[in-house]
Structure 1
Amino acid sequence: MCGIIAGVSYRNILRVLLSGLKKLEYRGYDSCGVATLTNSKLTRYRTVSRVEVLEQEIFNHPELPGTIGIAHTRWATHGAPEIRNTHPHLSHNAIAIVHNGIIENFEEIKHQLLQKGYVFESDTDTEVIVHLIHSFYKGNLFVAFSQAMLLLKGAYAVAIMTKDEPQKIMAARFGAPLVLGIGKNENFVASDPVALSGVTEKFVYLENGDLAELSPDSYQVFQRNEFVFVPVNRPVTKITAQENSVSLEGFTHYMEKEIYEQPSAVSNTIQALSGFAPEAYGFNAPDFFKKLNRILIIACGTSYYSGLVAKYWIEKIAKVHCNVEIASEYRYRESVPDPQCLVVAISQSGETADTLAALQHAKNQGMEMSLAICNVATSSLVKETEAHFITKAGTEIGVASTKAFTTQLIALYGLAVCIADIKNRLEQSKDYILDRLSEIPSLLKEVLSHRGAIEEWAQDFSNALNSIYLGRGQLYPVALEGALKLKEISYIHAEGYPSGELKHGPLALVDKMLPVLVIAPSNSLIEKVKSNIQEVKARKGRLYVLTNDESILESSTKNFHVIQLPKTHEDLESLVYTVPLQLLAYITATIKGTDVDKPRNLAKSVTVE
């Protein structure tokens, strides 16, 4: 849940490190730091503020620049966000380390190191690693580093350097993403290729258990084999720099930009379905679709809500039983395995620790048919599943997911159609369904044109302490997602409920101060939703209704606010009604003045349990 960038070169790389930290800010952090080696001396700066504060402090002190350095953005796990817990950590001013992940056996190792006389300045598990490496160091960093890595349990991505070997960086990866950036007369390590955008286009993705040694002129990857590390070749991947993906292009925030990118992102993802060809989900997907008798979806957060929507589609269109599990819960409970179950794992980053662990748990139970819905083709999730569909959302920087959610919905809708087709259960032609789906991008553009009305709603929501979101059918998960967005970035408490559950508890909260947002398209459940609206009106609740129903549109009053949305097929309403909720959360947060792209306590890529 943090960011790493490190490099070794013949030039001063300080600005590369700081630029990389800025590009990694989207991952979420509460402190940051950098260390370089200059004249055989390790120099370090750290702050519990933003990268620009770190940058200003550094450039006020000329002693820091160097040709080798490591840098980090930290999201606190072990130890509060204080300077003493901020990376990089040092051991005897000789070895410096940055680390993502959690070391599960750090207390045991720490006890051993305390007995050897090591003094700990922080509460972090990371400091245990650097002291452990120092305890093994006898003049060969590779040997000391590899010995230490063999003792660690948990998940980690690590980069280190020492003043005694001034042209060498060591890195290791187990359960947390790490990539090498290959340059000319310089080489780098980063959590994400985006950190090195504009620096290099050549990348080597480390696999679980890999260790890497870098100098300005060379690099070598080593694969763990029992208790030793042996050299191995990993493919070099070329990623053309896409500066536009990490620039605001005139928008105020990345979240705003990404909300407005949804029509094109959705259109691109629809094209990737290749007319609902099963092979779009992988060469072995058609075989999986024929054999499966049920589906298990595992995911977290926003991805979990996309899975809840998919359950409606899969059971309605494909006539296949579908269960949706929160990944962090699924792996810790007793469940009944089924070898004919297709496990669908959903994650924007493909590095979500709980989802990866839940996938492994399912495999260990004998459920070997697996499929990833993911936005990153090079991610751990894609590598660890038998089939996959890569959404075409493009780089998503804002912590609160927007275009990743809607493109996941497209991928999951396509999955339902493909399974139905291959099992001969499709009730309409694929061409007809595709025509219907292809209308969505233009409908999303129409939805975005209602920004003015949504701004008026946002003024009201910004003054609220709590709110309720209601939806029925596939729009219940959309209500959950809309409430989550408001919580994430505006810090206003919000809860999503099935509309029919209103009278089973939440109605007690309704009064003239509580905003109640109702998702009410004119579909087969509209009369039920109208009854729920009346329940709120009777308690003098403040209603905010998204609808295309004529009778509701005519009911707008002072405490009954309505926005008219375009009509679409009932199966696809979740896509159309998601976007205004995202925009409402975004505008509300800007009114309140919160840090929209980097909300407190949250991270973009949740790589720890």
Structure 2
Amino acid sequence: MCGIVGAIANRNIVPVLVEGLSRLEYRGYDSAGIAVIDHDDVKRVRRTGRVAEMANAAAEQHLESPLGIGHTRWATHGGVTESNAHPHVSFGELALVHNGIIENHEQMRARLQAEGYVFESQTDTEVIAHLVHSYQKKGLDLLHAVQTAVKELHGAFAIAVISKNEPNRLIAARQGCPLLIGLGEGENFIASDVSAILQATRRVQFLEEGDTAEVTRDKVTVFDGNDQVVERPEHVSDVSLSSLELGPYRHFMQKEIHEQPRAVSDTIEAVIDNNGFGPELFGDKAAEVFDAIDAVKILACGTSYYAGMTAKYWIESIAGIRCDVEIASEYRYRDIVANPKELIVTISQSGETLDTMEALKYAKSQGMEQTLSICNVPESAIPRASKIVYYTRAGAEIGVASTKAFTTQLVALFTLACTLAKVKGRLTAEQEHGYLEELRALPGSVQHALNIEPQIIAWAEKFAPKHNALFLGRGVHYPIALEGALKLKEISYIHAEAYPAGELKHGPLALVDESMPVVVIAPNDQLLEKVKSNIQEVRARGGEMFVFADLDSNFSEAEQVHVIRTPRHTGVLSPIVHTIPVQLLSYHTALAVGTDVDKPRNLAKSVTVE
């Protein structure tokens, strides 16, 4: 969950490294550092805290160089200290940055200590630096030293290495963690995310599993896992710099919440242009895949897992196909009953979530080859490993707490449910027309939900001094309650849990008192009367309730019961609309508490470690 950037050019690349790290800070912000080759010497600047502190230190030292690497860290091995910050240097000759986890680092550390290497950090990364250096000592050049070293590493990694003895090249390698090459004129770059190098180029090559790359000013040579030269296709990124800027907003999370009408509209555009649902929306092989399946298994983590839970209701109700949803990190470590006719659906905003990627690999190893990825990042690892893909079109999401990625995932999953129903002959023309009309109206309903923000701000002031909160939902809205609780705890650090409202009397009701705010998602659907009964259970115990009720529901405020009216009931897509208020509540509560909304403690955006 760290960020890597590197460059080699005929100009000073320190500003490129600093700006690149600033754009990668969402991937980790415990510490940051850069290392450059300057007059045949390795010079390094590291600081705990944010990239800006490191950048100030680099400016004070007048750091300049045409070759360098940088890193922003999310701590795994070792605490948040300057000695644990990257880059790591071996014998003053070689500098290295790393994203991922080296599982056999303890054995390698013991071996290298026996060879005379002294470790200054607690990290697994320093092992790689010394290991590469040890092969240089044995006479290998930097490229072959890296290629030899990575074959001994167990785990997931992306690395970039420079050496004062070879100041005209940069070596990069990846296994399990993303890394790409940026192509320029007389200069080239490496990065873990294209956003880091958009200032310099849009032309990129994505490294594949096991690849090593030799990067000079004028040439990039890629080697596969067998050290054979291979060609990786060039892509032109369509990510815009403006999407990476805050504009008039205080935080990226706020910006991304308000971008949801556009993100939802962009994601449904393909369905509208297609005049309906169909396998063609999912790629050339989709018809073959959908014809071959009789069940769906969704694998995801965190917010994406809650999107999958919502989709279970849709897929079973609309398509009449059994659907199971599993946490990817658990699925990959248990014995499963394999069903080759099961569609494996992986959901990942970044397309590089390690647990989800490994779960996908595990499913495929068990003979389940019908795989679909729902992802926001084209050409990322999980889509490339899947047979078919549906890209959400949320645009760049920088805030650690996912917002527009979640709602666009829901749109994609609804599209999947309707498409499967059509393939299986369960979707009438009338039903399809109705669902299309609901999709067309969805961006407007999302905007309507955003318009209740002033009322939610008033609620946030009541939540800020609390230490616990309870979220309730029923049916397809239960996962939205889970998402609301997750968002609140993520960014405000208020402990929050979510339950199906009908489960209150089976235990959680014991927690309810005047100090426990209870958020209730109460759409005007067939379960509304049941939800009202559950509210009375809370009210009778002195609980204070905050109810999001549809405009057309018969719901009145009363003592201990506060009501905000969302848009009129939007039918089957209601969970998407009801997501907006819980996002806004968490955001404004975090503002009232005074936390760092975009960079919550202990978390980072792209989870590429276990």
Question: What is the TM-score normalised by the length of structure 2?
Answer: 0.98
1:535 match: 537
2:515 match: 513
1:52/1:527 CA distance change after superposition, 3 Å: same
**What amino acid is the match of 1:231?**
V
Gaps of 5+ in 1: none
Aligned counterparts of 2:133 and 2:409: Cα–Cα separation in 1? 45
Q: What is the CA distance between 1:552 and its match in structure 2? A: 5.1
Q: What is the CA distance between 1:241 and its match in structure 2? A: 5.4
Does the 8 A contact of 1:350 with 1:375 survive in 2? yes
Aligned counterparts of 1:196 and 1:368: Cα–Cα separation in 2? 35
Residue 325 of structure 1: SS of its match in structure 2? strand
2:587 match: 586
Which of these residues, 227, 252, 255, is aligned with residue 253 of structure 2? 255
2:339 match: 338
108-117 or 412-421, larger mean C-alpha shift: 108-117
User: Superposed, which structure 2 residues align to 1:202-221 within 5 Å?
Assistant: 202-221=203-222
Q: What is the CA distance between 1:551 and its match in structure 2? A: 6.6
User: Superposed, which structure 2 residues align to 1:190-209 within 5 Å?
Assistant: 190-209=191-210
**What amino acid is the match of 1:95?**
L
Aligned counterparts of 2:37 and 2:553: Cα–Cα separation in 1? 70
CA-based RMSD of the aligned residues comes to 1.1
Aligned counterparts of 2:141 and 2:176: Cα–Cα separation in 1? 26
User: Superposed, which structure 2 residues align to 1:500-579 within 5 Å?
Assistant: 500-548=502-550, 553-554=555-556, 556-579=557-580
383-392 or 543-552, larger mean C-alpha shift: 543-552
2:391 match: 390
1:139/1:325 CA distance change after superposition, 3 Å: closer
| Per-residue Cα deviation, 1:285-329 (whole angstroms, up to 9, x for no partner) | 112222211000000000000000000000000000000000000
Does the 8 A contact of 2:183 with 2:189 survive in 1? yes
502-511 or 273-282, larger mean C-alpha shift: 273-282
Residue 189 of structure 2: SS of its match in structure 1? strand
1:476 match: 478
User: Superposed, which structure 2 residues align to 1:99-178 within 5 Å?
Assistant: 99-137=98-136, 138=139, 140-178=141-179
| Per-residue Cα deviation, 1:411-437 (whole angstroms, up to 9, x for no partner) | 000100000011111144322210112
Aligned counterparts of 2:217 and 2:292: Cα–Cα separation in 1? 51
Q: What is the CA distance between 1:389 and its match in structure 2? A: 0.2
Q: What is the CA distance between 1:105 and its match in structure 2? A: 1.1
Aligned counterparts of 1:194 and 1:542: Cα–Cα separation in 2? 44
Aligned counterparts of 2:388 and 2:239: Cα–Cα separation in 1? 27
Does the 8 A contact of 2:29 with 2:51 survive in 1? no
Does the 8 A contact of 2:48 with 2:85 survive in 1? yes
Residue 527 of structure 1: SS of its match in structure 2? helix
439-448 or 134-143, larger mean C-alpha shift: 134-143
Which of these residues, 461, 464, 488, is aligned with residue 463 of structure 2? 461
1:56 match: 56
Aligned counterparts of 2:327 and 2:120: Cα–Cα separation in 1? 37
Question: What is the TM-score normalised by the length of structure 1?
Answer: 0.98
1:401 corresponds to 2:402: yes
**What amino acid is the match of 1:457?**
W
Aligned counterparts of 2:368 and 2:298: Cα–Cα separation in 1? 12
**What amino acid is the match of 2:474?**
R
**What amino acid is the match of 1:378?**
E
Residue 312 of structure 2: SS of its match in structure 1? helix
29-38 or 234-243, larger mean C-alpha shift: 234-243
Residue 280 of structure 2: SS of its match in structure 1? helix
**What amino acid is the match of 2:266?**
N
Q: What is the CA distance between 1:218 and its match in structure 2? A: 1.2
1:46/1:558 CA distance change after superposition, 3 Å: farther
**What amino acid is the match of 2:508?**
P
Does the 8 A contact of 1:223 with 1:231 survive in 2? yes
Residue 168 of structure 2: SS of its match in structure 1? coil
Residue 246 of structure 2: SS of its match in structure 1? coil
420-429 or 86-95, larger mean C-alpha shift: 420-429
Does the 8 A contact of 1:469 with 1:516 survive in 2? yes
Q: What is the CA distance between 1:279 and its match in structure 2? A: 1.1
Residue 80 of structure 2: SS of its match in structure 1? coil
Residue 157 of structure 1: SS of its match in structure 2? strand
Aligned counterparts of 1:550 and 1:371: Cα–Cα separation in 2? 37
| Per-residue Cα deviation, 1:117-165 (whole angstroms, up to 9, x for no partner) | 1100111110000100110002611121111111111100000000011
| Per-residue Cα deviation, 1:199-226 (whole angstroms, up to 9, x for no partner) | 111101000000000111111001112x
**What amino acid is the match of 2:413?**
L
Does the 8 A contact of 2:524 with 2:569 survive in 1? no
Aligned counterparts of 1:401 and 1:29: Cα–Cα separation in 2? 17
Does the 8 A contact of 2:239 with 2:396 survive in 1? no
Does the 8 A contact of 1:553 with 1:564 survive in 2? no
| Per-residue Cα deviation, 1:388-410 (whole angstroms, up to 9, x for no partner) | 00001011110000000000000
Q: What is the CA distance between 1:276 and its match in structure 2? A: 1.3
Q: What is the CA distance between 1:111 and its match in structure 2? A: 1.2
| Per-residue Cα deviation, 1:556-585 (whole angstroms, up to 9, x for no partner) | 135211001112343111011001100110
Residue 213 of structure 1: SS of its match in structure 2? strand
Name the count of aligned residue pairs: 604
User: Superposed, which structure 2 residues align to 1:356-435 within 5 Å?
Assistant: 356-427=357-428, 428-435=430-437
41-50 or 542-551, larger mean C-alpha shift: 542-551
Does the 8 A contact of 2:210 with 2:224 survive in 1? yes
Q: What is the CA distance between 1:197 and its match in structure 2? A: 1.2
Aligned counterparts of 1:570 and 1:279: Cα–Cα separation in 2? 26
Does the 8 A contact of 2:551 with 2:567 survive in 1? no
1:446 match: 448
1:35 match: 35
Aligned counterparts of 1:269 and 1:202: Cα–Cα separation in 2? 25
1:311/1:71 CA distance change after superposition, 3 Å: same
2:181 match: 180
Does the 8 A contact of 1:28 with 1:399 survive in 2? no
2:90 match: 91
Aligned counterparts of 2:202 and 2:527: Cα–Cα separation in 1? 51
Gaps of 5+ in 2: none
Q: What is the CA distance between 1:169 and its match in structure 2? A: 0.4
| Per-residue Cα deviation, 1:159-205 (whole angstroms, up to 9, x for no partner) | 00000111110000110000001111111100001001121111010
Residue 228 of structure 2: SS of its match in structure 1? strand
Same amino acid, percent of matched pairs: 51
1:485 corresponds to 2:504: no
